[in-house]
C-alpha cells in the first residue's frame, strides 16, 4: 500500500517541489498551503506522516501540532517540523511539544526522504513515551 504524506507549507514553490519529489518517490501527497487546511486534511484522510512548516500566517506549525495531538485519531501520526530557524531552542521546543523530528531549510531532498521513510516505518515516538510513563 502506498503511504500518504501530508505537506503543510505556505511557500507555494516549496510545497510544489516537495509534492512532486515525494510523488516521484511513490508516495501519495496531500498538500495544504496553510495550517487550517492541513488540519482538515489530516482529520479527513489520516496520513502516514505530516511534514509541517513552523512559520505560517494565520496558524503556525506549533498550533497545527497541538491540534493534531488533541485528537485521538490523529495523535499517532508522525510529525516533522520543517523550518528556516536554526536555533537549538526551537528544536528543543518542537520535540518537547510532541514533534517527532525537525529539519532545517534549506535541506537536501534525499535527507528529508530518509527521515520520512524512517518515521513512516517506525511510527511516532509518542506511543512509546506514553508506555514508558505508565
In a domain, 11, yes or no: yes
Whether 13 is covered by a domain: the verdict is: yes
Domain that holds residue 43: 1-17+29-47
Q: Look at residue 99 and give its three-state secondary structure.
A: coil
Give the C-alpha distances (Å, rounded to integers) separating 68 from 9, 31, 98, 133, 134: 16, 16, 10, 21, 22
pLDDT > 90: percent of the chain:
76
Domain membership of residue 108 (yes or no) is: no
Mean of per-residue pLDDT scores for the chain: 91
Tens of pLDDT, residues 77-131: 999 999 887 666 677 888 889 999 999 988 999 999 999 999 999 999 876 654 4
In this prediction, residue 53 carries a pLDDT of 94
69 has pLDDT over 80: yes
Q: In what order do the strands lie in the sheet with 79-83?
A: 28-32, 4-8, 49-53, 79-83, 101-104
How many structural domains is the chain composed of?
A: 1
Residue 66 lies in a domain: no
Burial classification of residue 84, based on how many CB atoms lie within 10 Å of its CB (0-12 exposed, 13-18 middle, 19 or more buried): exposed
Going by pLDDT thresholds of 50, 70 and 90, the confidence category of residue 132 is: very low
In-domain check, residue 36:
yes
Query: DSSP character for 125?
Result: S
- Distance from C-alpha of 84 to C-alpha of 91, rounded to nearest angstrom: 11
DSSP state letter for 75: H
Residue 113 domain-assigned (yes or no): no
Predicted TM-score of the model (pTM): 0.92
Task: Give CA–CA dist 22/4, Å, rounded.
Answer: 10
What is residue 124's predicted lDDT score, i.e. its pLDDT? 92
The Cα 120–Cα 51 span in angstroms is 11
Up-side HSE of residue 126: CA atoms within 13 Å toward CB? 20
Average pLDDT over every residue of 17-38: 98
Residue 71 belongs to some domain of the structure: no
Residue 90 is predicted with a pLDDT of: 75
Whether residue 125 lies inside any domain: the answer is no
Give the pLDDT confidence score for residue 83 in this predicted structure: 87
Grid look-up 495531538 returns 69
Amino acid at each position: 500500500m502506498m503511504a500518504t504524506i501530508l505537506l503543510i507549507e505556505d511557500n507555494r514553490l516549496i510545497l510544489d517541489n516537495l509534492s512532486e519529489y515525494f510523488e516521484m518517490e511513490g508516495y501519495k501527497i496531500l498538500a495544504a498551503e496553510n495550517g487550517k487546511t492541513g488540519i482538515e486534511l489530516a482529520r479527513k484522510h489520516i496520513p502516514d506522516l505530516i511534514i509541517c512548516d513552523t512559520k505560517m500566517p494565520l496558524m503556525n506549525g506549533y498550533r497545527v501540532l497541538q491540534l493534531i495531538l488533541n485528537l485521538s485519531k490523529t495523535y499517532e501520526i508522525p510529525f516533522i517540523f520543517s523550518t528556516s530557524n536554526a536555533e537549538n531552542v526551537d528544536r528543543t521546543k518542537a520535540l518537547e511539544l510532541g514533534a517527532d523530528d525537525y529539519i532545517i531549510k534549506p535541506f537536501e531532498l534525499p535527507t528529508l526522504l530518509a527521515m520520512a521513510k524512517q518515521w513512516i516505518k517506525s511510527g511516532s515516538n509518542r506511543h512509546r513515551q506514553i508506555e514508558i510513563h505508565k
